[in-house]
Structure 1
């Protein structure tokens, strides 16, 4: 009983007017799990109790009555408000179920037309360049399952043939391998999907490696372009000042040894040890204040 209580808390599938076939399968499975489906399928009558009923008769009468009430409640809860308004006056679960089926599935003639349209849709399916194998196979499986829900047979071998014929040219290697190793008349859908998906994954991995290898080269090109940009747009004043400093240094190196101190790099008239130079620290001739000995003392 505890397991049934837990299962009853599973959310009911709600029918909003679309995809009735899917909702029908889900709702039937849900009601079977709660032991309520026989109230819909059999549509038994609940007769009043006889005089002086036994305890077993009372219990059985109550269970059958409650089962029909629960089944009716499930169907009311499992539809949208718009659909509930249309079925709220129906008294039995069987009447509700038949009304929904007739309204949204139709008779045999309508169902045969729906199957014909679905088969046509299946034949017109083609792989897009952006589709993966899984996406394409899901489209085909969805159409095939709708055809089965309408009561028509549809073999999975037809899906296998469709995939092998319509896949893109880049999967030809996998198809050729299957032809050489398998009997295509007995091959399963799972085997075909696994082979094609394996090749698809290898192709994606190769593309990822190419992209990863291209990124460092691109960054190197960006760095080089930045260097060229800064070289071209470097201020002229800084270049001139650097050139002037270099020229000054080169010019100073061209002076001969000074006749006063014997050192290179300056003309005699700028020498700190000129005989006519007067120190403003000690007021003596023969040197300038920058090399005055009294300054350091």
Structure 2
């Protein structure tokens, strides 16, 4: 990607649409071979005594990747959100800070999933709505469930639509 000279801007996050930002940002970092720097958070070992030129170059490249990943994360957030991550020293710390801020801890995510699954089960088509409007509502709930990291069976979606349609359909 870097050989083409094209460098798209990182996807912005301003506090809304965090779940979508995560997917876009992960892909963005993968495109620049930086996702592992964020995901693994491996401490960079110091150079050994009498390093070769290759070792020096590799160490420099690894250090630069950390700064690039951190820069991309910092530049993809609004100034208000930047203040939350500006004290973070590694890209992993910044990533986790944003995740905790916008997704909450595991208990909160679990509760959100329970609420979304309940919403899915309780969805019914109103007589005044079109099938398109109804399926859009279902897919919005399903996509929210998927964005929280839970799997959702496609057959269950079809079953839901068919079983809750009014008789006239």
1:53 aligned residue (36, 51, 58):
51
Rounded Cα–Cα distance in structure 2 between residues aligned with 1:53 and 1:36: 25
Secondary structure at 2:161's aligned position in 1?
Answer: helix
Larger radius of gyration: 1
1:21 maps to which residue? Answer: 19
1:70 maps to which residue? Answer: 68
Rounded Cα–Cα distance in structure 2 between residues aligned with 1:62 and 1:36: 15
Secondary structure at 2:142's aligned position in 1?
Answer: helix
Equivalence map 1:1-297=2 (5 Å) = 1-3=2-4, 5-6=5-6, 8-9=7-8, 11-129=9-127, 131-171=129-169
Structure 1 residue 129: deviation in Å? Answer: 4.5
1:33-79 residue CA offsets vs partner (Å, 9 max, x unmatched): 11000111111222343443211111101110110001001110111
> Against the structure 1 CA distance between its residues 115 and 57, is the aligned structure 2 distance closer, same or farther, given a 3 Å change threshold?
same
Q: TM-score, normalised by structure 2?
A: 0.88
Secondary structure at 1:170's aligned position in 2?
Answer: coil
Runs of 4+ residues deviating >6 angstroms: none
1:4-56 residue CA offsets vs partner (Å, 9 max, x unmatched): x32x22x3221112232221111111101110001111112223434432111
Q: TM-score, normalised by structure 1?
A: 0.52
Secondary structure at 2:168's aligned position in 1?
Answer: helix
Give the number of aligned pairs: 168
> Against the structure 1 CA distance between its residues 2 and 135, is the aligned structure 2 distance closer, same or farther, given a 3 Å change threshold?
farther
Asked if structure 1 preserves the Cα contact closer than 8 Å seen for 2:29 and 2:69, the reply is: yes
